[in-house]
Structure 1
Amino acid sequence: MEQIKCIGVLTSGGDAPGMNAAIRAVTRTAIYHGFTVKGIRRGYKGLITGDIVGMESQSVSNIIQLGGTILKSARCKEFCTPEGRKLAYENMQAAGIDALVVIGGDGSIKGAGEFASEYNIPVVALPGTIDNDLGGTDATIGYDSALNTIMEAVDKLRDTASSHERLFFVEVMGHTAGYLALNGAIASGAEAAIVPEMETEVDQLAELINNGFRKSKNSAIVLVAENPKTGGAIGLAERVKKEFPQYDARVTILGHLQRGGSPTSLDRILASRLGEAAIEAFMEGQRNVMIGVRNSQLVYVPFSKAIRHNKGINRTYLDLVKILSI
C-alpha cells in the first residue's frame, strides 16, 4: 500500500448511466485520502496511446447527473494481445500510475485480470454494464437506469398498441442475460418476456402463442432479449409470420437508447458507494477484485467469479409475468 501514490481510472466497453458518478467517487475519495489521480481516456486504448490526463476535484464537478462517461470509452483489440498490454504497461509507468480502477463489464474485467497478473499491478474493478450480467453482485452500474428507460418506452408503445390488435415484440439488450427483458416486462406490465436463460428448456414463442397471448386483450407486448440464437425480435416476428399467420406481429428495437440518459438515483448512489469502496480496497491491500453489492452490503468479488455469468434469473419472476398478464 505504501507504494501506491497515484491511481488511474478508466471506463471500458459499452457505456452505462452512472459511470460518471463512479468516476467522481473514485477521484474525490482518492484525493481525500491523499492520492494523486489520473484519468485514462478511451479505456484501454488510452493506455496504449498514452491518452492520460491529471484529475482534480474540480475535474469531476457537475457530472453526477450526466449519462455516458467523461473519460470516453472504446473497444480495444490491441489490448487483447501481449504486445498491446506491454505498451499499456509502459505508458502506465511513464505516467507514474501505481494502481488502476477499471469501470466496465465482463470483457473489461477479464482484460483487467490478465493485465494485473502479467505485470503484478493492483487493479480493482467496478461493475459498469446495463446488462446486470456479472457474478457476485446483485446490481451493476447502469442497470436500473436502463430498466427505467425500457419501462418508459414500453409505456409509450402501449398507447399505440392499444389501438391495434397486434403482437408487439420489443427487443432490449442482454444477449446472454435476460434481466432487462424479464424485469422490464414486470415493470411495464408486458404480457411476456423471452429470455436467453430459457432457450434450451422450452420453445418460448410456441408456448406464448399456444397459451393464447391475447386472452381478453386486443393487443400484447412481449419483451425480448437480443439473442443471435433466436434472431431477437426480428427473428421471432418472422417465425410468427410463417408459423402463426393469424397474428399481426410488429417489432420495436430499443437499441442504444437504453444506454443513454441521466442515471437514476439508485445508480448514482450505487456508483458512489462502489467508487469510494474501490479506494478503500486499495488501502486494505486488496487487488484483482471487483467491488459488488450483495443484500445492500459491499463485497469483494474475485475477477474469476465476476465474469462467470452464473447468477441466473429468478424463475418466480417468469411466473409473475404470466400470472399478471391474464
Structure 2
Amino acid sequence: MKKIAVFTSGGDSPGMNACIRAVVRTGIYHGLDVYSIMYGYDGMIRGEIKKMQAHSVSNILQRGGTILKSARSENFLTKEGRKKAYDQLVNHGIEGLVAIGGDGTFTGAKVFFEEYGIPTVGCPGTIDNDIFGTDFTIGFDTAVNTALEAIDKIRDTAAAHDRIFFIEVMGRDSGYIGIECGIGGGAELVMVPETKTKIHDVVRSLKGLRKSKTSSIIIVAEGDEEGGASEVMEKVKAQFKNEDKEFKVTTLGHIQRGGSPTAKDRILGSRTGMAAVEGLLKGESNCMAGVIHDRVVYTSFEDCISKEKPLKEDYLRLQEILSI
C-alpha cells in the first residue's frame, strides 16, 4: 500500500482535526502518500481529492469542526454514485481509506468495501458516544464540558429566582451526553432515550424536591420519548396550574458541537488516527479503530453499526442517588 486518503463525514465533532492530523503524519512517517477528500462521500464522487504534506495539517490540533468539511451524500446511497466514487479513487491511485465519522459513515464504508474491496478503517467521530467498539468517541468529552459550562451558568440564575429549568442537550438516540451532564451538573432529574421517565414521575419528583430545594435543573435529551425540553416543560407546567412556580427552557443545540477540543478529545483523535493508518498497513479493513480500557482495538463495521452501546447502569444509579 502506497497511497491512502482520509475524509470526514456526517456531523462534525471537536477532535476530528486532531484525527486528520494524526492520519496524515502517521502515513507520511510510514512512507505513504496521503490524500484528503473534501466534503466526505460527496467530495469523493466529485473527485475533490488532493495530496497532503506534513505542514498541511499544521496548527489544526486545537481547532473544532473539520478542515476537510463534511456533508451528507444522497448520491453515495446509489450504486451509480458509489461507482463514480470508486472511479475517482482509482484515478488517483488510492489503495486505502480512513473514514472519520459515526454510524452513517461506517454504514457507507461497509457497503463500499463489500462492492469494491478498498480497505477502509474508521475512526469514531461523533459527540453522541453511541458507537459500539470504543469507550469514548471523538468529540464527546468536549460536548459534555461545553454543555456543563452552560448548565453551571443556568444554575446560578435558577437559584437566584427559584426557577425550574428544563435544559435540552443533544442525543437523538443516545443519553450519554444527558447522563454525564446530569451527574457533572448536579441536575435533579435526567430524561434520556434509554430510560422511560413519565411526566407524572417528573411532577412527583419536583413536588418532593420542593421540601429541600427552591430551584431545579432537569436535563432532557432531545430524543426522550416524552419529547424535547419545551414539550416536557409544557406537560409538567400543566400539572402546576394553581402553584406559583416559574418554568424556563434552554436548548443548548449546536453549541455542543463546536469549540476547541479538550485534551481528552485531542489525544483520542490522535490515537485512533494513528491506529487507523497502522491498521491498514497491518491488513486491517472494514473495521473501526477504537479505544477500550485504554487499549486500541479494531471492531468490525458490522458490529459498530448493529450492536448497541447501553448506558452504564452505575451512572443511572449515581444520578438517582445524588439528586436527592
SS of the aligned residue for 2:299 comes to strand
Q: TM-score, normalised by structure 1?
A: 0.95
Q: Of the candidates 225, 238, 242, which is equivalent to residue 242 of structure 1?
A: 238
Moved more, 308-317 or 250-259: 308-317
1:233 equivalent in structure 2: 229
Contact persistence 2:5–2:98 (CA under 8 A): yes
Moved more, 165-174 or 55-64: 165-174
1:169 equivalent in structure 2: 166
The Cα of 1:321 is off from its aligned counterpart by 1.6
Separation of aligned partners in 2, 1:7 and 1:230 = 45
Separation of aligned partners in 1, 2:225 and 2:92 = 45
1:137 equivalent in structure 2: 134
Q: Of the candidates 144, 151, 154, which is equivalent to residue 147 of structure 1?
A: 144
Moved more, 210-219 or 251-260: 210-219
2:202 equivalent in structure 1: 208
The Cα of 1:315 is off from its aligned counterpart by 2.1
Within 5 Å, give how 1:185-196 maps onto structure 2: 185-196=182-193
Separation of aligned partners in 2, 1:44 and 1:213 = 50
Within 5 Å, give how 1:21-100 maps onto structure 2: 21-100=18-97
1:321 equivalent in structure 2: 319
In structure 2, list runs of 5 or more residues that go unmatched: none
Partner AA of 2:52 in structure 1: M
Contact persistence 2:165–2:216 (CA under 8 A): yes
Contact persistence 2:127–2:139 (CA under 8 A): yes
Q: RMSD value over aligned CA atoms? A: 1.2
How many residue pairs match? The answer is 320
Contact persistence 1:196–1:225 (CA under 8 A): yes
Contact persistence 1:133–1:309 (CA under 8 A): no
Partner AA of 1:208 in structure 2: V
Separation of aligned partners in 2, 1:312 and 1:128 = 18
Separation of aligned partners in 2, 1:295 and 1:40 = 32
Contact persistence 1:26–1:276 (CA under 8 A): yes
2:271 equivalent in structure 1: 273
Separation of aligned partners in 2, 1:239 and 1:81 = 43
Superposed CA offset, 1:147-182 (max 9, x none): 100110101111111112222111111111100000
- Residue 197 in 1 paired to residue 194 in 2? yes
Separation of aligned partners in 2, 1:18 and 1:309 = 24
Quick one: percent identity of the two aligned structures? 53
Contact persistence 1:240–1:249 (CA under 8 A): no
Q: Of the candidates 279, 287, 290, which is equivalent to residue 288 of structure 2?
A: 290
- Residue 108 in 1 paired to residue 89 in 2? no
Structure 2 vs 1, CA of residues 10 and 265 (structure 1 numbering), >3 Å: closer, same or farther? same
1:221 equivalent in structure 2: 217
SS of the aligned residue for 2:165 comes to strand
Contact persistence 2:191–2:224 (CA under 8 A): no
